[in-house]
Amino acid sequence: MVSTSTVAEIGSVLGDPARANMMIALLDGRAWTARELADVAGVSPQTASSHLSKLVNARMVSVEKQGRHRYHKISSTEIAQLIEQMHVAGAALALSRGPAPGPRDAGMRELRSCYDHLAGRIAVELGGRLLAADQPGGARLNGDAGALLSRVGIDLTALSRGRRTLCRSCLDWSERRPHIAGALGAAMLERFGELGWLSRRKGSRALVLTAAGELGLARVFGVRAVRTGA
């Protein structure tokens, strides 16, 4: 059981705006240098180093050394899920205060990365096509999912043999409906990139949906999507 002191520690670590901005940036799933995270947080490199030490000590961020450089990543999918769900809570609070929830950037609302899987309106539509409607939380795939995913080269049987949970529901903070996380969510993000359906946008979690992606999503999954700009 998680103790109240642990919850309080998490709140203390994430309660600083600079550290919160760093964690949000790391949700794109990539490794960042301290200097890059300092720019995101709007603090000096020295201050960023202090913030990152606290995040590492709290085991929210891991560090990988490569040559002279040190790269920082979110330490686990559970931490990434925590940060994403804080967005959901924030969106609910914003809604109660009046402004519309979710990112202002239209590209972020349409399609973005959520650590290692897809998020945004398109991801939610994919979830609606693949998840069982009668399952609370949308954590179980429907009868059509296997055949649809095989058309893009994703083997559910092979994925289910791994250590990771095959399919997990993740509440989308801009749509407030579930998208797919877990091993399948990660496989979809990777495979769609391999197919040339999407690409990353520099300096943003927003993903670029290509013409091939627009056509592929419609043909395979029946999902309406319009290509997004670079």
Q: What is the pLDDT of residue 157?
A: 94
Q: What is the pLDDT of residue 180?
A: 93
Q: Is 141 found in the same domain as 65? A: no
Cα distance between residue 192 and residue 120, in whole Å: 15
Q: Is 60 found in the same domain as 96? A: no
The count of structural domains within the chain is: 2
Cα distance between residue 46 and residue 28, in whole Å: 24
Has this prediction a pTM greater than 0.75?
no
What is the percent of the chain with per-residue pLDDT over 90, rounded to a whole number?
Answer: 48
Mean pLDDT of 153-164: 93
Q: Is 146 found in the same domain as 55? A: no
Q: Is 144 found in the same domain as 213? A: yes
Q: What is the pLDDT of residue 115?
A: 85
Q: What is the pLDDT of residue 91?
A: 61
Q: Is 184 found in the same domain as 144? A: yes
In a domain, 212, yes or no: yes
In a domain, 230, yes or no: no
Q: Is 168 found in the same domain as 88? A: yes
Q: Is 116 found in the same domain as 99? A: yes
pLDDT at position 140 over 80: yes
- Say which residue the tokens 């939610």 belong to: 124
Q: Is 186 found in the same domain as 89? A: yes
Q: Is 71 found in the same domain as 90? A: no
In a domain, 228, yes or no: no
Of 56, 75, 94, the residue at which a domain comes to its end is 75
**Residue-averaged pLDDT of the chain:** 85
Domain ranges, residue 60? 4-75
pLDDT at position 84 over 60: yes
Q: What is the pLDDT of residue 8?
A: 83
In a domain, 227, yes or no: no
Express each pLDDT in 182-215 by its tens digit. Answer: 999 999 999 999 999 999 887 778 899 999 999 9
In a domain, 226, yes or no: no
In a domain, 117, yes or no: yes
Express each pLDDT in 32-82 by its tens digit. Answer: 999 999 998 889 999 999 999 999 999 999 999 888 889 999 998 888 888
Q: Is 82 found in the same domain as 29? A: no
Of 27, 46, 75, the residue at which a domain comes to its end is 75
Residue 15: which CATH number?
A: 1.10.10.10
In a domain, 150, yes or no: yes
Q: Is 65 found in the same domain as 88? A: no
Q: Is 132 found in the same domain as 32? A: no
CA distances (Å), origin 18, targets 15, 49, 88:
9, 11, 19
